Chain A
Amino acid sequence: MLLNEFLLLAAALFCIGVYGVISRRNGVLVLMSIELILNSVNINLVAFSAMTGAVSGQVFALFVIAVAAAEVGVGLAIVLAIFRLYRSVDIDDVDLMKG
């Protein structure tokens, strides 16, 4: 198998995730798009680990999974706090810092 197969798949997932982050206005869906981006990075790390035979790539992929768990926990807590304050999770409504 070519290394590029996996790298191109990861690039496609990354770009779809970027599209989601830009175009979604529901806070939960923005977090889901960020998960897509983190997953594409994991595919890259594991593909390079298989390419070079070093285990470090897989260890970093595990670290990324753990950090993603922490990120989702804090992110959903923030979305809940926004919901409690504004009665909606529309992140376009959160424009307190607009001049």
Chain B
Amino acid sequence: MTVLLAAAANADAPVLVAQNVAFGIIAAIMVFSAIRVVTTSNVVHAAVYLVMVLAGAASQFILLGAEFVAITQVLVYIGAIVVLFLFGIMLTRAPMEGTEKLSRDNWLVAGATSVVLLALLVYSLIDGFGGDRLPADLAPTSTAAVSDSIFGSYLVPFEVLSVLLLVALIGAIVIARRD
């Protein structure tokens, strides 16, 4: 952290106050909601907190100038995936009142694992990217550039991805079908 602060103090680049404040608020909401997703005892509440994390991620994408990714995040994640989760909760008759245990008793092991992992990641990130700054004049990426890239250099992966989606959806129907 001291490395970060020192890098922020002696850099001559302008500090973007509004962006930093927005980042801080959204990041705090995201981390709080993510912790609630993995600790709440009500499955529907977990889905709603997941919506808040995904919306926060979409706003971070806008902050980074990736507008098309942000819109796709809202459409696909919040629009489709969360609805799929709610269907899953409904069909499996998950407990709504917190009567059934949703977590194991090994929260200590899980917490230790993730704290050690977080410490490792934070150390290596600060060591590796200590004072790297994003460009100050961060212009939004145009959707045309993104689509040029998808349908130009990434055409084959894109086609493979559409086949993967088809296979996954057919597979899901086959697995979940009553017969």
Contacts and interface: CB of A to CB of B under 8 A. Distances in A.
Interface of A: 1-9, 11-20, 22-29, 31-33, 35-36, 39, 42-43, 46-47, 49-51, 53, 55-56, 58-59, 61-63, 65-74, 76-81, 83-84, 89, 92
* Residues of B contacting A: mostly: helix
B40 to A, nearest CB: 9
A48 to B, nearest CB: 10
B76 A70 contact: no
Contacts of A49: 64, 66, 141
B67 to A, nearest CB: 10
B76 A69 contact: yes
A53 B45 CA distance: 38
A32 B103 CA distance: 13
B138 A13 contact: no
Contact of A19 (B102, B114, B149): B114
**Which of the listed residues A22, A27, A51 has the most CB atoms from chain B within 10 Å of its own CB?**
A22
Interface residues of B, number: 90
A78 B91 CA distance: 12
B71 to A, nearest CB: 11
* Residues of A contacting B: mostly: helix
Contact of A12 (B23, B31, B63, B172): B31
B19 A71 contact: no
Given A49-B66, A50-B134, A76 B85 contact: yes
A13 B84 contact: no
Contact of B69 (A12, A26, A46, A77): A46
A19 B80 CA distance: 25
A28 B43 contact: yes
B30 A32 contact: no
5 contacts: A18-B110, A20-B37, A50-B65, A69-B165, A77-B172
B80 A66 contact: no
Contacts of B68: 58, 62
Given A4-B130, A6-B64, A77-B171, A15 B88 contact: no
B146 A59 contact: yes
A80 B50 CA distance: 21
Contacts of A46: 60-61, 64, 66, 69
A19 to B, nearest CB: 4
B91 A80 contact: yes
Contacts of A78: 175
A55 B141 contact: yes
